Amino acid sequence: MHIAVLAGDGIGQEIMVEALRVLGAMDLPDLCLDHADVGGAAYHKHGHPLPPETLELVEAADAVLFGAVGDPSCDNLERHLRPEQAVLGLRKEMETFANLRPAKMFAGMEDASGLKPEIARTIDIVIVRELNGDVYFGEKGMRKTADGLREGYDVMSYDESEVRRIGHVAFKTAMGRGKRLCSVDKANVLETSQLWRDVMIELSAEYPEVELSHMYVDNAAMQLVREPKQFDVVVTGNMFGDILSDAAAMLTGSIGMLPSASLAEDGSGMYEPCHGSAPDIAGEGSANPLATILSVAMMLRYTLNVPDAADAIEAAVSRVLDQGLRTPDIFSEGCTPASTVEMGDAVVEELVAAMAS
């Protein structure tokens, strides 16, 4: 298995070091790590945020482990040369269509959530969002109405193959978890959603063990905050998923804890923390590496197919948090302060201890 490691800018460099130490501690056979530049670092070295040598490496890789991009010194460049364009370029290159964002509350982290601790404690959800279709990619434009008023329009559409493709990912994700799938749509008013719902129901015949339910998106937003434990896996379209996955993720607290996976049809994927390059703390050694470490766990589960190794990393993170170790972004009174490296050390130690026992 080839993994393209793209650390990027700012804290991307620091958190990637820790993520790779954790991956190394797993001692998995047949892993080949290839490093390349991306973002501002790539622009300064090669004149482009996603240079051909990086693309070549990504093309040959089974998975991309991505840190973060964003460099204030590039803020005045033409748009196509800005570091953030690399993310879009990678998604296009890899043809990723399924975005998986877990929202899980780790024991002892309840205070970081805006929800009451007894509700926050129960959060363990994966949101599966379609990435390549919907209103973001439909016909769009500005026109004049018959009355001469300016009118903006964006066409929402999905064809059934697109829904089926993301549906399979969601049902399989549910099979690997609690076997409950909630499909979120707006079928009471949108034809696109009616097709979405029909296809999900058709697909459910292939996954008889999964309990499929449906929910309108407005209710889903409310239920996520009211009683998140009712959700196991949620599948939804691009726009609804954009909004719900951010809301669900933040129920658990800090952005430094949120991993993500973007999967392609051939099983390859891009794995990255949800946060950016955090220039305000870059170089301080205080960034939380856990989102990237948990992204490694997702990579092991979804592309490398070693779910036991993924479970081991998640359990090690859980134990470290339970012991009260905290980087500044998740620190609360009574906890033990930790730097980026100390947090990485602790996860590695837990992993090694678990493997030895």
Q: How far is the CB of 70 from ligand NAD (least distance, A)?
A: 2
Task: List Cα–Cα distances, 246 to 146, 228, 250, 340, in angstroms.
Answer: 39, 14, 6, 24
DSSP class of 50: S
Stretch near ligand NAD under the rule CB under 6 A, chosen from 131-139, 152-160, 198-206, 280-288: 280-288
Pairing type for strands 150-154 and 140-144 reads: antiparallel
**The one among 7, 36, 69, 300 contacting ligand NAD by CB under 6 A:** 69
> Who contacts 81 (Cβ-Cβ below 8 Å, separation ≥6)?
43, 48, 49, 74
How many separate helices (H) and strands (E) can be counted in the chain? 12, 14
Q: How far is the CB of 96 from ligand NAD (least distance, A)?
A: 13
Instruction: Please report whether residue 30 would count as binding ligand NAD according to CB under 6 A.
Output: no
Q: Is residue 218 flagged as an active site residue?
A: yes
Between residue 250 and residue 269, which ones bind ligand NAD under the rule CB under 6 A? Answer: 255-256
Q: How far is the CB of 271 from ligand NAD (least distance, A)?
A: 12
| Residue among 71, 186, 232, 271 flagged as catalytic | 186
Pairing type for strands 233-236 and 259-264 reads: unpaired
Instruction: Please report whether residue 288 would count as binding ligand NAD according to CB under 6 A.
Output: yes
Measured CA to CA, the distance from residue 342 to residue 133 in angstroms comes to 41
Which pair of tokens denotes residue 244? Answer: 């719900």
Q: Is residue 216 flagged as an active site residue?
A: no
Instruction: Please report whether residue 275 would count as binding ligand NAD according to CB under 6 A.
Output: yes
User: Of the two residues 11 and 163, which places its CB atom closer to ligand NAD in the complex?
Assistant: 11
Instruction: Please report whether residue 105 would count as binding ligand NAD according to CB under 6 A.
Output: no
CB distance 236 to 244 below 8 Å: yes
What count of Cα atoms within 13 Å lies in the side-chain half-sphere of residue 189?
5
Q: Is residue 172 flagged as an active site residue?
A: no
DSSP class of 272: E
Instruction: Please report whether residue 79 would count as binding ligand NAD according to CB under 6 A.
Output: no
Q: Is residue 136 flagged as an active site residue?
A: yes
User: Of the two residues 87 and 135, which places its CB atom closer to ligand NAD in the complex?
Assistant: 87
Of the chain, the end-to-end C-alpha distance in Å amounts to 28
Instruction: Please report whether residue 280 would count as binding ligand NAD according to CB under 6 A.
Output: yes
Between residue 320 and residue 349, which ones bind ligand NAD under the rule CB under 6 A? Answer: 329
CB distance 161 to 133 below 8 Å: no
| Residue among 136, 172, 216, 345 flagged as catalytic | 136
Instruction: Please report whether residue 18 would count as binding ligand NAD according to CB under 6 A.
Output: no
| Residue among 34, 62, 124, 246 flagged as catalytic | 246
Nearest Cα to Cα of residue 250 among 102, 356, 151: 102
| Residues present in the chain in total | 357
| Residue among 34, 62, 124, 242 flagged as catalytic | 242
* Neighbour count for residue 322 (Cβ, 10 Å): 12
**The one among 18, 37, 84, 232 contacting ligand NAD by CB under 6 A:** 84
DSSP class of 84: T
Q: Is residue 159 flagged as an active site residue?
A: no
User: Of the two residues 48 and 186, which places its CB atom closer to ligand NAD in the complex?
Assistant: 48
Q: How far is the CB of 167 from ligand NAD (least distance, A)?
A: 26
Give the interface with ligand NAD as residue ranges (CB under 6 A).
11, 15, 68-70, 84, 87, 255-256, 272, 275-281, 287-288, 291, 329
Residues classed as catalytic? 136, 186, 218, 242, 246
